[in-house]
Structures are given as structure tokens and as C-alpha cells.
Amino acid sequence: MRILLTNDDGIDSEGLIALYHALTPDHEVAVIAPDRNWSIAGHNKTMDRPLRVTEREWEGMRVYASDGTPSDCVSLAALGFLGYRPDLVVAGINKGPNLGDDITYSGTVAAAMEGVISEIPAIAVSIEDYLDWHFETPAPYVTRLVREVERNGMPAGVLLNVNAPNLPPEAIRGVRVTRLGRRIYHDQLVKRLDPRGRPYYWIGGDIPQSHLEEGTDAHAVANGYISITPIHMDLTNHRLLKVIEGWDLS
Ligand code: MN
């Protein structure tokens, strides 16, 4: 397959290079990635300025760094930058998990969403923890997942969200196909004063935790499994359609 590889951690991330090495033996891989870190930037399209793309070289291979967002990198490819439309978008390996509610913040998952909106199947890949990552752990699972996507195809409007425990390969217990879990964020509003006495604010806190319900992505990763969650873009709550139709709104 012709694969577009991107990420949200930026083109110099070891996670991107790990996926590149995992996918190049079997596929034609093009890399367009942001020139800086766009983690937690969500699904973000640049429309107020032009995009610049610069060529770089990796081990004799030409890759592209864009000053746009992860989603812009996918748009560039979907709209003809490479001279062909990729068959698959792969984003990652992200440094940090994208579990449950995290996907609404994630630039990695947003890149995959942009693929799906552009009618290109997409896979997002993340590894838990925020330092000393075992990128060698998810890489072969992504290779097998891509092979299965090639063999079985993917329904329109769906992406696959992969999360790996940060464990050495021999410690992985297997693969679980999961649903999205729920995250517990510990954000706090911290108010400080600048040197001129004006207030400014930080939003942030400790590393998020998860409700560890059986069958969820977070439960699988916490128990040593690679998690694969099929995600569709239809956020409609179908159960509530009739209920809200019954409200007195006219
Ligand atoms: Mn990131």
C-alpha cells in the first residue's frame, strides 16, 4: 500500500521513525509531519496563513516537514501534494496515551480523523507514559494491523485507535479490541502574577487516570494488552433523537 505517515509530536520524534522502519519493508511510505510539536492541539486546520513545506533527508529518503498542524499534513497529501492519494494514513507513534476522552484533544487522532474525512482509512498509534518509551513494542502490531486492513478493507468513516502499554515486547499479553473508556483529568486553574502585577493563568495538573472498566481501552492497556478501538465520526446520540423530538420546542 501507499501509506502517508504523520504524527503530532513533530518530524524529529523517534516514534515517527520507529513506525517508518516498521512499515517500509512492505509498503511505499511517504512522510509529511509537522515541523514542531502539536500535541493536545485537537483537530485544527490552518486557514489564516499559507502552509510552507520543507524537504528533509532521512537515511537517503526524502521526507517533508510542514509548518501546519497534523491535520494539515494529511490534507496536503489528500489534496494532491504527493501526486497521488495515499491508501492509508498512519499517525504516531505518539509519546503518551490517547485513551477514552483523550481522543478529543489528540493531534494524533485528529490526523487520523482528517484521513477519514478525506475518505482515506486511518490508524492512530500511541504508547502510554511520558518518557523512556518502548517504541519497539507497538511497531510489529501496527505492521500486522496494516496487513489486515489491506486484506479486509475498512468501512468508510472509521479509524482504528491503537494504544500500547509502555512495556518491553516480551511483557505484552496480547491484543484486545476495545471500546473507548473514560478519563479522569486532574486539571486545576493556577493563577499567578506577571512582573507588572497582572494576573495570568495555567490550566493543568497531574497525569490523567482512567476509570478501569472491563472492555475499555484503558483497562486493556493497564493489564498489559495492545488496545485497538474502532472509532467512527458519527457523534450522534441516536437514542436521544426521539426524546428531544418530544420536547416542546416550537
Ligand atoms: Mn503527541
Task: Return the pLDDT at 161.
Answer: 98
DSSP state of 179: B
Let me know: does 3 contact 152? Beta carbons within 8 Å.
Answer: no
State the distance from the centre of ligand 1 to the C-alpha of 40, rounded, in angstroms: 7
What would the grid cell of residue 165 be?
Answer: 502499554
CA of 143 from ligand 1 middle (Å) equals: 21
The parent domain of residue 67 ranges over 2-182+211-245
95 alpha carbon – ligand 1 mean position (Å): 5
Q: Is residue 196 part of a domain?
A: no
Q: CA separation (Å) from 50 to 33, 118, 241?
A: 16, 20, 40
Q: Rounded to the nearest whole angstrom, what is the distance from the C-alpha of residue 161 to the centroid of ligand 1?
A: 14
Name the pTM for this structure. 0.95
Average pLDDT over residues 51-62: 94
Distance 238 CA to ligand 1 centre (A): 32
Predicted local confidence at residue 130, as pLDDT = 85
* Cell 489528540 -> residue: 106
**Burial tier of 186 (Cβ tally within 10 Å: 0-12, 13-18, 19+):** exposed
Q: For the chain, how many structural domains are there in total?
A: 1
pLDDT band of 166, cuts 50, 70, 90: very high
pLDDT at 235: 93
Instruction: Report if residue 202 sits inside a domain.
Output: no
pLDDT in tens, 86-113: 999 999 999 999 999 999 999 999 999 9
Q: Copy the grid coordinates of residue 49.
A: 496563513
At 102, give phi and psi (nearest 5°).
Answer: -55, -30
Rounded to an integer, the average pLDDT of 192-211 is 96
Residue 194 alpha carbon to ligand 1 centre in Å: 29
Does residue 192 form part of some domain? Answer: no
**What pLDDT is attached to residue 59?**
85
> Is 235 part of a structural domain of the chain?
yes
Q: 9: CA distance to ligand 1 center in Å?
A: 4
Using a 10 angstrom Cβ sphere, with 0-12 exposed, 13-18 middle and 19 or more buried, the burial of residue 250 is: exposed
Tell me the pLDDT band of 121, cut-offs 50, 70 and 90: very high
In a domain, 201, yes or no: no
Q: Is residue 205 part of a domain?
A: no
Measured in Å, residue 106 CA sits from the centre of ligand 1 at 7
244 or 250, higher pLDDT: 244
Average pLDDT along the chain: 97
Per-residue model confidence (pLDDT) at position 174: 97
Q: Which pLDDT band, with edges at 50, 70 and 90, does 81 fall under? A: very high
Nearest to 118 by CA among 228, 4, 201, 30: 4
DSSP string, 90-118: EEEEEES---GGGGGT-HHHHHHHHHHHT
CA 70 – ligand 1 centroid, Å: 10
Q: What are phi and psi of 7, to 5 degrees?
A: -165, -175
CA 39 to centroid of ligand 1, rounded, Å: 4
How many Å lie between the centroid of ligand 1 and the Cα of residue 215?
25
CA dihedral 129, 131, 135, 136 (to 10 degrees): -100
Question: What is the C-alpha separation between 136 and 159, in angstroms, rounded?
Answer: 22
Picking from 1, 31, 34, 37, the residue whose alpha carbon sits closest to that of residue 18 is 31
**4, pLDDT greater than 90:** yes
pLDDT digits (tens, 9 = 90+) for 23-39: 999 999 999 999 999 99
CA of 34 to the centre of ligand 1 (A): 11
Asked if residue 85 belongs to a domain, the reply is: yes
The Å distance, Cα 107 to ligand 1 centre, comes to 7
Domain of 111, CATH number, reads 3.40.1210.10
* Domain assignment present for 195: no
